[in-house]
Amino acid sequence: MKSDSPEETLVHGIAGESIEMRKIMETVRQVAPTDITVLITGESGVGKEVIAKAIHALSRRSTKPMITVNSGAIPEGIIESELFGHEKGSFTGASDQRKGYFELADNGTLFLDEIGELPLLSQVKFLRVLENGEFLRVGSSVPRRVNVRVIAASNKNLETEVHHGRFRPDLFFRLRSVNIVVPPLRNRPEDIPALFRHFAGEVTRKHGIDFKGISDAAMDILMGYRWPGNVRELRNMAESMIVLEKGKRLEADDVRNFLKEDTPEGIPIAGRMGERNLPVHVSKSVEQAERELILRALLDIKGNIIELKSMLDEQRQAMDATKQGSKGPLILDGAAGETGMSLEEMEHRMIAEALERSKGNRRMAARVLNISERTLYRKIKEYGLE
């Protein structure tokens, strides 16, 4: 498969070309050789465990085990036994002595996922281990010591949890010595090509498939989709498409078919306006559909502005009727309010205005227009706006 960028980066499974992911990779390189506690936050599916594994792999503990624990998957009544172990007979069913995850991870790394689900009482004991490496097995009065590097992760805003009394502030401040915040995939579409190539490589090795690659139009569709399941969803989608299409070159229609159930009218093309559910017909080309989406979005925005201005005018008139004279209809300047322009002319003007308002910042302009940066670059070149 062709690489869209010579600067593509891959660090122990972390793939990406965006500024945000490059900063995360640099942070991983900096903190990995130390034993400092790391907190990784972000939406479900963004790849928090991948980052934790990269930190462990680059650390001095890489030859020792990394134990992964999902706090949200352990019932509250046994979570302390799972983390710290228990003595024989310490509770009903404890027929044998058992080591907990901290002992199993001794001299290695403990990755505690969804730490926001940890019960408050367990948080006290967890903090003690972080502070001095000591803990008590359930049913024991003998302190034990471990040498464990802790990496925690959460899809919750722990600061908000602290504010509502659901998370201990002392543990929060102890955990966030280094806080790596992973942005959702929809906010960094430029990472999608690198991620897709990485996942495609994994799939071909796993299933022994000779994958013929993906077209630019198909990649545009992937970059325009909002990916509510984030990187995890992209990984699963890549595997499904490559396996079920038997490694053939993926075209735009192939991608549409796999994303059909998740999108209005079955077309998750670049530039689809989130919750607007604008109608797009399958028979139209990707470029034509993009132009119509941009136009309709601008018209929608114009209508909202007119409605808002009208409401403000009415409020002013009600508050000061004596000072407010009669007003004619509000007319906004700009291409969206003109007639006799072709779709291409209107698109050209709207893109030029977006670039001007964003002072040439293409990422900002793409977000204003709700199209992918890849699509915006193509349009800029097409209209000679470079």
State whether residue 251 is helix, strand or coil: coil
pLDDT over 90 percentage in the chain: 51
54 has pLDDT over 70:
yes
The predicted pLDDT at position 371 comes to: 76
Last residue of a domain, one of 184, 216, 242: 184
Do 32 and 166 lie in one domain? The reply is yes
pLDDT in the model for residue 164: 92
Same domain? For 78 and 217 the reply is: no
Stretch 319-345: mean pLDDT, rounded? 48
Co-location of 197 and 176 in the same domain: no
Q: Do residues 180 and 40 share a domain?
A: yes
Indicate the DSSP class of residue 229.
T
Report the 10 Å Cβ neighbour count for 183.
Answer: 16
Which domain does 51 fall in, by range?
A: 19-184
Please say if the pLDDT value at position 48 is more than 70. Answer: yes
- Residue 13 is assigned to a structural domain of this protein: no
CB 16 within 8 A of CB 9: yes
Asked if residue 76 and residue 115 are part of one domain, the reply reads yes
Residue 10: pLDDT band by 50, 70, 90 thresholds?
low
Last residue of a domain, one of 184, 216, 232: 184
Q: With 80 as the cut, is the pLDDT of residue 7 above it?
A: no
The CB-side HSE value for 289 (13 A sphere, CA atoms) comes to: 25
Is residue 5 in some structural domain? Answer: no
Closest to 61 measured CA to CA, from 176, 126, 147, 177: 147
Tell me the three state secondary structure of residue 9.
Answer: strand
In a domain, 145, yes or no: yes
In this predicted structure, the answer to whether residue 97 has a pLDDT above a threshold of 70 is: yes
| CATH code of 68's domain | 3.40.50.300
Q: What is the CATH number of the domain that holds 222?
A: 1.10.8.60
Instruction: Clarify whether residues 34 and 116 are in a common domain.
Output: yes
Same domain, 43 and 179: yes
Q: Is the pLDDT of residue 162 over 60?
A: yes
Q: How far apart are CA 191 and CA 18, in angstroms?
A: 6
| 298 & 258 share domain | no
The answer to whether the CB of 138 falls within 8 A of the CB of 73 is: no
- Residue 48, domain member (yes or no): yes
Co-location of 163 and 66 in the same domain: yes
- pLDDT of 258 strictly over 70: yes
Residue identified by tokens 């010595």 is 177
In a domain, 294, yes or no: yes
Query: Do 305 and 345 sit in the same domain of this protein?
Result: yes
Q: Is residue 347 one of the residues assigned to a domain?
A: yes
Q: Any idea which of 70-79, 173-182, 205-214, 308-317 has the lowest mean pLDDT?
A: 308-317
Regarding whether 172 and 104 lie in a shared domain, the answer is yes
Of 137, 166, 184, which closes a domain?
A: 184
What's the number of domains the chain is made of? Answer: 3
- 13: pLDDT strictly greater than 80: no
Do 105 and 143 lie in one domain? The reply is: yes
Q: Is residue 309 part of a domain?
A: yes
